[in-house]
Amino acid sequence: MSTPLNIALLGAGRIGQVHARTIAYRVASARLAAVADVNTAAAEACAAQYRIPKASADPLQLINDPGIDAVLICTTTDTHANFIEAAARAGKHIFCEKPVAMTLAEIDRALAAVDKAGVQLQIGFNRRFDANFARARQAVVSGEIGKPAMLHIISRDPAPPPLAYVKISGGLFIDMAIHDFDIARFLSGSEVDEVYAHADVTVDPAIGEAGDIDTAVTLLRFKNGVIGTIDNCRRASYGYDQRVEVFGSAGAIQTGNVHPNVATLSDGASVRQDLPLNFFMQRYTEAYASEIEQFVAAINAKQPVPVNGQDGRAAFVIALAAQRSVAERRPVRISEIQ
Amino acid sequence: MSTPLNIALLGAGRIGQVHARTIAYRVASARLAAVADVNTAAAEACAAQYRIPKASADPLQLINDPGIDAVLICTTTDTHANFIEAAARAGKHIFCEKPVAMTLAEIDRALAAVDKAGVQLQIGFNRRFDANFARARQAVVSGEIGKPAMLHIISRDPAPPPLAYVKISGGLFIDMAIHDFDIARFLSGSEVDEVYAHADVTVDPAIGEAGDIDTAVTLLRFKNGVIGTIDNCRRASYGYDQRVEVFGSAGAIQTGNVHPNVATLSDGASVRQDLPLNFFMQRYTEAYASEIEQFVAAINAKQPVPVNGQDGRAAFVIALAAQRSVAERRPVRISEIQ
Amino acid sequence: MSTPLNIALLGAGRIGQVHARTIAYRVASARLAAVADVNTAAAEACAAQYRIPKASADPLQLINDPGIDAVLICTTTDTHANFIEAAARAGKHIFCEKPVAMTLAEIDRALAAVDKAGVQLQIGFNRRFDANFARARQAVVSGEIGKPAMLHIISRDPAPPPLAYVKISGGLFIDMAIHDFDIARFLSGSEVDEVYAHADVTVDPAIGEAGDIDTAVTLLRFKNGVIGTIDNCRRASYGYDQRVEVFGSAGAIQTGNVHPNVATLSDGASVRQDLPLNFFMQRYTEAYASEIEQFVAAINAKQPVPVNGQDGRAAFVIALAAQRSVAERRPVRISEIQ
Amino acid sequence: MSTPLNIALLGAGRIGQVHARTIAYRVASARLAAVADVNTAAAEACAAQYRIPKASADPLQLINDPGIDAVLICTTTDTHANFIEAAARAGKHIFCEKPVAMTLAEIDRALAAVDKAGVQLQIGFNRRFDANFARARQAVVSGEIGKPAMLHIISRDPAPPPLAYVKISGGLFIDMAIHDFDIARFLSGSEVDEVYAHADVTVDPAIGEAGDIDTAVTLLRFKNGVIGTIDNCRRASYGYDQRVEVFGSAGAIQTGNVHPNVATLSDGASVRQDLPLNFFMQRYTEAYASEIEQFVAAINAKQPVPVNGQDGRAAFVIALAAQRSVAERRPVRISEIQ
């Protein structure tokens, strides 16, 4: 086995720790050489738990450390673009959580830096690596369902995030639906041409007062003719609702929710199952691990990463178009978004 | 038991025979007193099979027969409005297959005649009487799923009708999706405010050459805030696909397709079920019978019929709005349709 | 069409009425010419409802009526054998509800009379005509699951019958499990060689005091090597539980319960379905109709009926073996039962 | 956190590596201090992969190492009893794979040594820790299904083991069904009183020639009145079939197989799912990890382990009774087995 890829983890919060765990325990061809967090205690705790040799309060120090081959950017969204640029300049490969940034200008600047440096950038669209979404994609690619004509995505959280987070999140389309925009591109195999969205506040008036919406339905028209719809809500009483259906000329594929067990209980009242896995940390455990494994594998093999910066940009642009559609109450062409 | 309701069947085609069978065998409180069809042989064969005392080539003769209490209009769509008007003038209660007519003007004239005569008119939106759609409605009405916020309807036929029929059908929205527009109103408990639709020809170019589309996705915004989407296609390789999902503040209900059996077969290739019931005559057998039972029960009890002329009109108006949306590539308000 | 088969219905109780309805409404090639019931009012009510020309208090009168081609014996079990014998002597074809009789001697006498007369006798093992059991049988016959090796039958009622009925029922094995013994033969395609059963009273002590059991598990060894198990209980809290599973060298088939709808409701507590159809009158509506249709079709076509007297005898013998197994606490060979 | 438990792994084969991985990556309160395997290369490779400080060719050396607190016995079955005795004498806590030994005498000697030493012994009945079997157990314990009356276990492998293994395996009942006997005790909450089994060779005649059977159905009568049946086969064409159903006075619970995804694909042929997870290494990944986590937790907390030596013995005795039942073609009481 060749030398493992030396990775620096930037950001030791919840998702950073998920990735640390993956590299520590599942990826023999990489090692965590360092972790940085502006919260020094968090960096040190993470280093201790995953036996990472170096903890730092300064992500830039690690980015510029010549012993580092690649960085995982798990810091707050407002820092993503700068760290991407810095890492690209330092010649490091990059894995960055979604969204790439909060404005298209920043994203374009970051992607330009990546292009110029010739490094690779993978975006954290973890759902592509989930066994169910991957199976749906396989049904499209393999021809099992023929030529796709329609898709329908259901994506509902069990509960809205804290209001403080809602305020800096960029809004439902950029923060939450961006995953679904990516999955829509992934499953349709095409770029979106037009977006029309209806949005509302049905879960919590405070979300509306904070300037966001918590419920949305988005209609997408793709360049290859596929028509897609996405149902989003910040709160489903029964938990995390993550399903997709693709209909094609020769068949259809439909994915369900994942439950903690496959037991059915019958009594005098009903025939029932326990509720689905409650949220993304339970539902996408394997998908989070798999995206990192594939990132490392691609870098080591000098192959393209499976989800790149253009994928991150494209989903962001759809989110902007959806925002504008709601604001202006009209269909918005993707070509209108600069 | 009081005297049974004397019913004349107008039109002895496929759906007319379905209703004849229901009255003959399941509805003790009604009897088929006569059947008319311009095809005399069809009228006579139907009379023979269901022991109907009188067969006629002239629907108007039966409409004006003083021994008749109610008529079932199962003739071609172009004749519906005139027969409704004639029956109303003759003081007969009316069950009429959908759509009420091919133009809003005709519908309005027919409904005005019904109103003026004080008779009842039920429209043949049979799906409301299907156990699955009825259960979804019950979940909404009972509060089991809280306040509805979104609904999604999937309605796909196993195969397109003959091209000759396509040409006179009024098009996918009026001929096929009208059922779904009715179900959308039924499940949302509200009127539609705005319609936006994308449509395409993906099944058969000849349908496009005939001026119709065979694939459509319609986005509905309801006055009560519910947002709905409808997926229509003239051909699903796996058969009749008739499902609905309603999401509300306290839960969701999802209905499935109906299969000829509930057996699961596992072998070296897959774990599988037989295909769903192939088309409406199999899937909606009970629903067709139930709508007639409830029509007769309502008339006999002098209660309002469960689906009336305004329901027929409202669904037709949505279909017109969808047509205009596709033609003009923009969202269309219901208030624009006169 | 040739002259319809003239049928006399003997017994106008619940199941008699089910069959009357089938012949009246679904079987054009037969007509109910007469009905008899020792309860004259019941006979007359049935005649009125299904437009049967003749009502009688005396089954034997109808059996011997030269205008009758076939009889449906739906009287109490203690009368079955005598009516079969009388009908056979009168040259009438016979449909008889299960069980054929309460003793093997009576059954043998009845079957001998049938043989001697050369008439046909069909036994009311309705489940063979249910879409699910029929599909399981088809999987065996078609080779879809290869050579069958094991089968498991679950057969539970929603509630025990009245105690008065329990006392004259012949016991759980003869009254209830006899259907399952027939299905076991039907699905295995073989005769039983050995029976071992455990039985208990878990539902109602009064059933035990009446000398019966309400819960039983029966292990069957078939001559072709198939091994089968049957779970019976007089009470399942969730309703009528009627399932089967056959495992073979190339696959397995598993049938489920039938529910009033295929809706799934999700809320904060569970993801659930409504309870299965509650009992045999709901679950086997179509099967009851189908067995009569096939009886009439076989008689009219001079073909063998699909379930004959030997089938009725064989299931009864298995029931006797199960009774003896429980009484003597040992496996019992079918060859021991005379 | 206190000092982690120092564990020696005995046996670096497939299942040994599974446990090594669990301790290395998931159990912070334990560490693998050493690994032994008579195959030195295997021990060393395992040590390298999981960063175990010491590799040895001699299990006894590690058992007697004062730095070791507990051993995991993953060696071949013929060595289990001796290693248990040695570890008990050395005062080490023990986790041992099933079966405990190949004879009851050896098991009793090993358990006596454990008792005398006052150490703890956990047996590797991993299925108790599977989310599905655990949920079924919870339904029994919580009272959700009332008092259990019947249980049915389906346990089929995707393919038989190599013939060489079959010959030393102890036979289907001891090697394979022993897991099901344990689950039957776990779910019934009672001891078995009587066993009756039918067995056959339907998969591969060579298995019969080797003196074993590959297909069996076992009927169990428990002391608390529960009646259970177990279907075993060495080969299911559709993969690993691991299901259970418990029926009680107030309801029933039924567990299904676990599939690699929850996608449903519909096309012109069927509505289908991909095959279940193929075998135990995929299906029980989490269960294997969980049993070790709970072993370590129990030892560290000085609490009883969740599955002890008596559980191992009891399942083995049922296997012996099943063997005798097949050999003597009669029901065998557990009390007959010494």
pLDDT-derived band at D2, boundaries 50, 70, 90: low
CA distance C171 to C177: 9
The amino acid that residue D164 corresponds to is A
DSSP, collapsed to helix, strand or coil, labels residue B326 as: helix
Interface of B with D (CB under 8 A): 236-238, 259, 266-276
CA distance B290 to D221: 49
> What letter does residue A308 receive in the DSSP assignment?
B
Interface of A with B (CB under 8 A): 146-147, 149-150, 152, 154, 156, 196, 198, 200, 202-203, 215, 217, 219, 221, 225, 227-229, 231, 233, 236-238, 241, 245, 247, 249-252, 329-331
Overall average pLDDT of the D226-243 stretch: 98
Q: Where are the beta strands (DSSP E) in B120-279?
A: 121-123, 148-156, 192-200, 215-222, 227-233, 241-248, 251-255, 263-267, 271-273
Q: What is the pLDDT of residues B8-44, one digit of tens each?
A: 999 999 999 999 999 988 888 999 999 999 999 999 9
CA distance B173 to B165: 14
Radius of gyration of the CA atoms of chain B, in A: 20
CA distance B127 to B138: 14
Closest CA relative to residue C151, chosen from C239, C200, C221, C216? C221
CA distance B100 to B316: 8
CA distance D326 to D338: 17
Note the pLDDT of residue D1: 45
Nearest to A330 among B152, B228, B331 (CB): B331
Angle C139-C143-C146 from CA coordinates, rounded to 5°: 100
Mutation for testing the D interface, residue in C213, C229, C255, C272 having most D CBs under 10 Å: C229
Neighboring chain B residues of A250 at a CB cutoff of 8 Å: 237
CA distance C43 to D224: 50
Q: What is the dihedral of CA A280, A286, A292, A295, to 10 degrees?
A: -110
Note the pLDDT of residue B192: 98
Interface of D with B (CB under 8 A): 236-238, 259, 266-276
Which residues, 6 or more positions from D329, have their beta carbon under 8 angstroms from its beta carbon? C331
CA distance B146 to C267: 9
Neighboring chain B residues of A241 at a CB cutoff of 8 Å: 252
CA distance A15 to A124: 10
Q: What is the pLDDT of residues D33-55, one digit of tens each?
A: 999 999 999 999 999 999 899 99
Neighboring chain A residues of D131 at a CB cutoff of 8 Å: 260-261
Neighboring chain C residues of A275 at a CB cutoff of 8 Å: 266, 268-271
- Asked whether the predicted pLDDT for residue D317 surpasses 70, the reply is yes
Mean of the per-residue pLDDT values for chain D? 96
Mean of the per-residue pLDDT values for chain B? 96
- Asked whether the predicted pLDDT for residue D90 surpasses 90, the reply is yes
The amino acid that residue D210 corresponds to is A
CA distance C161 to C159: 7
Nearest residue of chain A to residue C264 (CA atoms): A272
CA distance D56 to A169: 55
Cβ of C238 within 8 Å of Cβ of A266? The answer is yes
Neighboring chain C residues of B132 at a CB cutoff of 8 Å: 261-263
CA distance C196 to D323: 17
Overall average pLDDT of the A170-194 stretch: 98
Cβ of C270 within 8 Å of Cβ of A267? The answer is no
pLDDT-derived band at A1, boundaries 50, 70, 90: very low
- Asked if C134 contacts C140 with a C-beta cutoff of 8 angstroms, the reply is no
Q: Which residue has the tokens 């999937």?
A: B154
- Asked whether the predicted pLDDT for residue C329 surpasses 50, the reply is yes
Nearest residue of chain D to residue C197 (CA atoms): D219
Cβ of D241 within 8 Å of Cβ of C233? The answer is no
Overall average pLDDT of the B59-75 stretch: 97
B contact chains, 3+ CB pairs < 8 A: A, C, D
% of residues, chain A, pLDDT over 90: 97
Q: What is the pLDDT of residues B237-272, one digit of tens each?
A: 999 999 999 999 999 999 999 999 999 999 999 999
Cβ of C196 within 8 Å of Cβ of D215? The answer is no
Note the pLDDT of residue C2: 66
Note the pLDDT of residue A2: 65
Dihedral pair phi/psi, residue B46, rounded to 5°: -65, -45
Note the pLDDT of residue A148: 98
Note the pLDDT of residue C3: 84
- Asked if A157 contacts A236 with a C-beta cutoff of 8 angstroms, the reply is yes
Dihedral pair phi/psi, residue A279, rounded to 5°: -160, -175
CA distance C44 to C112: 33
- Asked whether the predicted pLDDT for residue B56 surpasses 60, the reply is yes
Bridge partners for C96 per DSSP: C73, C123
Q: What is the nearest CA distance from D212 to chain C, expressed in angstroms?
A: 17
Mutation for testing the B interface, residue in A192, A237, A325 having most B CBs under 10 Å: A237
Neighboring chain A residues of C272 at a CB cutoff of 8 Å: 270-273
Q: What is the pLDDT of residues A78-131, one digit of tens each?
A: 999 999 999 999 999 999 999 999 999 999 999 999 999 999 999 999 999 999
Q: What is the nearest CA distance from A229 to chain B, expressed in angstroms?
A: 7
CA distance A330 to B335: 17
Q: What is the pLDDT of residues B148-183, one digit of tens each?
A: 999 999 999 999 999 999 999 999 999 999 999 999
Distances (CA, A) of B26 to B2, C24, C176, C288, C298: 17, 11, 31, 17, 27
Overall average pLDDT of the C30-47 stretch: 96
% of residues, chain D, pLDDT over 90: 97
Nearest to D233 among C247, C250, C251 (CB): C247
CA distance B273 to B260: 9
The amino acid that residue C316 corresponds to is F
- Asked whether the predicted pLDDT for residue A69 surpasses 70, the reply is yes
Cβ of B150 within 8 Å of Cβ of A221? The answer is no
- Asked if D295 contacts D305 with a C-beta cutoff of 8 angstroms, the reply is yes
Nearest to C266 among A238, A266, A269 (CB): A238
Cβ of B266 within 8 Å of Cβ of D272? The answer is no
Task: Return the half-sphere exposure (C-beta side, CA atoms, 13 A cut-off) of residue A182.
Answer: 27
Interface of C with B (CB under 8 A): 24-25, 131-132, 134-136, 139, 144-145, 250-258, 260-268, 274
DSSP, collapsed to helix, strand or coil, labels residue B273 as: strand
Nearest to A233 among B221, B247, B330 (CB): B247
Q: How many CB pairs under 8 A join A and C?
A: 46
Nearest residue of chain C to residue A272 (CA atoms): C272
Nearest residue of chain B to residue A230 (CA atoms): B229
CA distance D272 to C311: 36
DSSP, collapsed to helix, strand or coil, labels residue B308 as: strand
Q: What is the pLDDT of residues B100-144, one digit of tens each?
A: 999 999 999 999 999 999 999 999 999 999 999 999 999 999 999
pLDDT-derived band at B211, boundaries 50, 70, 90: very high
- Asked whether the predicted pLDDT for residue A243 surpasses 90, the reply is yes
The amino acid that residue C4 corresponds to is P
pLDDT-derived band at B1, boundaries 50, 70, 90: very low
Q: Which residue has the tokens 């009569």?
A: C292
ipTM value of the model? 0.95
Note the pLDDT of residue A58: 96
Note the pLDDT of residue B338: 82
Bridge partners for B122 per DSSP: B95, B308
